[in-house]
Amino acid sequence: MIQIAPVLNVSTEIAVHWQATVAASLAGDLPDEAPPTAEQVQAQLCAAGLDSRRLFWLATTADGAVVGVAGLRLFTSAGQSHLAELELHVHPDHRRAGTGSRLLAAATSAAQAEQRRSLLTLSADGKPGDSFCTARGFRRVLTLDHLLLNVAQADDGEADTDRSGYELASWTGTVPEELADAFAVAKNAMNDMPIGDMDYGSQSWTPDRVRAMAQVLADRGDRLLTIAALSKGEMAGFTELVIRSGADRRAVQYDTAVVPAHRGHGLGLWVKAAMVRRLRAEHPSVVEVETDNAQDNTHMLAVNHQLGFRFHRRTHEYQLDLPTT
Ligand SMILES: CC(C)(COP(=O)(O)OP(=O)(O)OC[C@H]1O[C@@H](n2cnc3c(N)ncnc32)[C@H](O)[C@@H]1OP(=O)(O)O)[C@@H](O)C(=O)NCCC(=O)NCCS
C-alpha cells in the first residue's frame, strides 16, 4: 500500500530520496539527460525561490521506500498569484498503479486551497507524462523546442560587428548599481514573449527584484552571466546565461530580450554572440548551452539557429484549470 504524505521538514535524507527518485524517473524517460545533482535538489527543496514558496509530497511504500515525489511552486507576486507549477515523478518500477494520480490529487487540493486557478506542468514529448496529463484533464498549452549549442562550433562572428550607437556591458551575478534601473525596464520586455495559450500572468521587474533573482541563484551556488546592449543610458537588450553549481558542462540559457524600440537591429544575435565569446574566454569547461523556445517564437529561433543551436528535444507545457470558489 502506497502512502502519500506532505513533507513538513526537508531533511538531507529526504533530499537524497528525492534526487534518487527523479534520477530514476529521468533515466527511464530521458536517458541522455543528466539528472539534477544532490546539491541542486537540496537547493531546490530548501532555498527560497523568487516570489514563490513550495510545498512537497512523498509517496512511500509500507517499508518506507520513496517511490514518488511531487513539488508545488506557489507564486506570490501580484501578476502570478493565480498560478501554481507542479513537478511530479514516479519511479519507473512503480508506475501505472495510481501513485501519480494520488500525488496530483494532493497537489491539486493544496493549489485550490491557495486559491489558484491554473496548474502548470511540463512533460517530455511522447513520454508517459503526455498520456498522464491528457488522462488527468490537463490541456496542452505550449510546445517548446529545446536546442543545444556546441560552444566550440558556434558562430560568434557577429560579436565583431560594430553596432553604431550601441555598446556592450558584461557582468557576473548582480547587476551593477548604475545599470539596475535600466535592466529592470529591459527585463519587462520579456512579458511579450510568445507563450501559446498558457495562463502565465506577468512578471513586473524592479531593480530590487532583479537583485533578488541574482541572490536566489547565488544562494544555490549558480553563476549568472549577463551581457547587455546599451544605448544612451538605456538598456536596449540583454542575454542571461546560468552555469549551475556542479554542472558546468552544460550551461542554461535564461532570458534574452530586446526592448521594442530597439528591435530590428540585430541586437539579439549581437549579445548572444558576445556571450559565446565570453564563455570561450572565461568558462572553458562549458561545452554546450541549452535553450528552449516556443515553437512560434520565430525571431528567437532564427537567432539561435544562426549562432549554431540545433534541435535537441521537445517538451509540452500542460495546464489544468482549477475551479475557483
Ligand atoms: C507521469 C507520471 C507521474 C505518471 O505516474 P503513474 O503513477 O504511472 O500515474 P497513474 O498510475 O496515476 O496513471 C494515471 C493514468 O494516466 C495514464 N497514463 C500514465 N502513464 C501512462 C503511459 N505510460 N501510457 C499511457 N497512459 C498512461 C493512464 O490513463 C493512467 O491510468 P491507467 O493506468 O488506469 O490506464 C510518471 O509516468 C512519471 O513520473 N513520468 C515522468 C515525469 C513526468 O513526465 N512528469 C510530468 C507529468 S505530471
pLDDT at 126: 97
pLDDT tens digits, one per residue of 23-50: 999 999 999 999 999 888 998 898 878 9
Nearest to 228, CA basis, from 189, 280, 177, 271: 271
DSSP-derived letter for residue 257 is E
Q: Are residues 92 and 173 in the same domain?
A: no
Confidence of residue 202 (pLDDT cuts 50, 70, 90): confident
DSSP-derived letter for residue 62 is T
pLDDT at 193: 85
Which stretch of 159-168, 184-193, 252-261 has the lowest confidence by average pLDDT? Answer: 184-193
Q: Which of 116, 139, 162 is the last residue of a domain?
A: 116
Q: Are residues 179 and 288 in the same domain?
A: yes
For 215-241, the DSSP string reads: HHHHHTT-EEEEEEEEETTEEEEEEEE
Which three-class secondary structure state does DSSP give residue 320?
strand
Taking CA atoms, 312 is separated from 30, 62, 219, 283, 302, in Å, by 12, 40, 30, 23, 15
Distance (Å, whole) CA 300 – CA 294: 9
Q: Which of 58, 93, 116 is the last residue of a domain?
A: 116
Q: Are residues 107 and 25 in the same domain?
A: yes
Q: Are residues 72 and 203 in the same domain?
A: no
Average pLDDT over residues 275-288: 98
Q: Is residue 25 part of a domain?
A: yes
Q: Are residues 158 and 294 in the same domain?
A: yes
Q: Is 132 in the pocket of ligand 1 (CB under 6 A)?
A: yes
Q: Which amino acid is at 84?
A: A
Q: Is residue 57 part of a domain?
A: yes
User: Would you say 62 and 80 are in contact if contact means Cβ atoms under 8 Å apart?
Assistant: no
Distance (Å, whole) CA 112 – CA 133: 18
Distance (Å, whole) CA 313 – CA 127: 12
Q: Is 121 in the pocket of ligand 1 (CB under 6 A)?
A: yes
Looking up cell 564563455, which residue turns up?
A: 279
Answer left, alpha or beta for residue 199, where phi above 0 means left and psi between -120 and 50 means alpha: beta
pLDDT tens digits, one per residue of 61-118: 999 999 999 999 999 999 999 999 999 999 999 999 999 999 999 999 999 999 999 9
Q: Are residues 305 and 176 in the same domain?
A: yes
Residue-averaged pLDDT of the chain: 95
Q: Is 99 in the pocket of ligand 1 (CB under 6 A)?
A: yes
* Residue 178, domain extent: 147-313
pTM of the model: 0.94
pLDDT at 192: 83
Domain tally, the chain? 2
Q: Are residues 216 and 293 in the same domain?
A: yes
pLDDT at 48: 78
Q: Are residues 186 and 243 in the same domain?
A: yes
User: Would you say 89 and 111 are in contact if contact means Cβ atoms under 8 Å apart?
Assistant: no
pLDDT tens digits, one per residue of 7-23: 999 999 999 999 999 99
Q: Which of 100, 116, 132 is the last residue of a domain?
A: 116
The CATH number given to whatever domain includes residue 287 is 3.40.630.30
pLDDT tens digits, one per residue of 223-277: 999 999 999 989 999 999 999 998 899 999 999 999 999 999 999 999 999 999 9
Distance (Å, whole) CA 296 – CA 192: 13
DSSP H helices, the chain, are 12-29, 38-46, 99-113, 128-135, 180-187, 207-219, 267-282, 298-307
In this structure, how many other beta carbons lie within 10 angstroms of the beta carbon of residue 99?
20
User: Hey, whose CA ends up nearest to atom 19 of ligand 1?
Assistant: 132
Mutate to test the pocket of ligand 1, among 29, 132, 313, 316 (most ligand atoms within 8 A of CB): 132
Q: Are residues 170 and 242 in the same domain?
A: yes
Q: Is 318 in the pocket of ligand 1 (CB under 6 A)?
A: no
Which stretch of 71-85, 117-131, 184-198 has the lowest confidence by average pLDDT? Answer: 184-198
- Please give the distance, rounded to the nearest whole angstrom, from the Cα atom of residue 34 to the centre of ligand 1: 22
Q: Are residues 168 and 302 in the same domain?
A: yes
Residue 190: pLDDT over 90 = no
User: Hey, whose CA ends up nearest to atom 48 of ligand 1?
Assistant: 88
Which stretch of 37-46, 137-146, 202-211 has the lowest confidence by average pLDDT? Answer: 37-46
Strand order in 66-75's β-sheet?
3-6, 52-60, 66-75, 83-90, 118-124, 310-321, 139-150, 288-294, 247-258, 234-244, 223-231, 167-172
Q: Is 95 in the pocket of ligand 1 (CB under 6 A)?
A: yes
pLDDT at 191: 83
For 263-297, the DSSP string reads: TTSSHHHHHHHHHHHHHHHH-TT--EEEEEEETT-
User: Hey, whose CA ends up nearest to atom 5 of ligand 1?
Assistant: 100
Q: Are residues 262 and 171 in the same domain?
A: yes
Q: Are residues 190 and 239 in the same domain?
A: yes
User: Hey, whose CA ends up nearest to atom 34 of ligand 1?
Assistant: 96
Q: Which amino acid is at 285?
A: S
Partners of residue 52 on adjacent β-strands: 49, 75
Q: Name 88's Cβ contacts closer than 8 Å, sequence gap at least 6.
A: 68, 69, 70, 71, 100, 103, 104, 107, 121, 129
pLDDT at 168: 97
Please give the share of the chain, as a percent, with pLDDT higher than 70. 100
User: Would you say 204 and 275 are in contact if contact means Cβ atoms under 8 Å apart?
Assistant: no
Q: Is residue 202 part of a domain?
A: yes
Residue 325: pLDDT over 80 = no
Q: Is 89 in the pocket of ligand 1 (CB under 6 A)?
A: yes
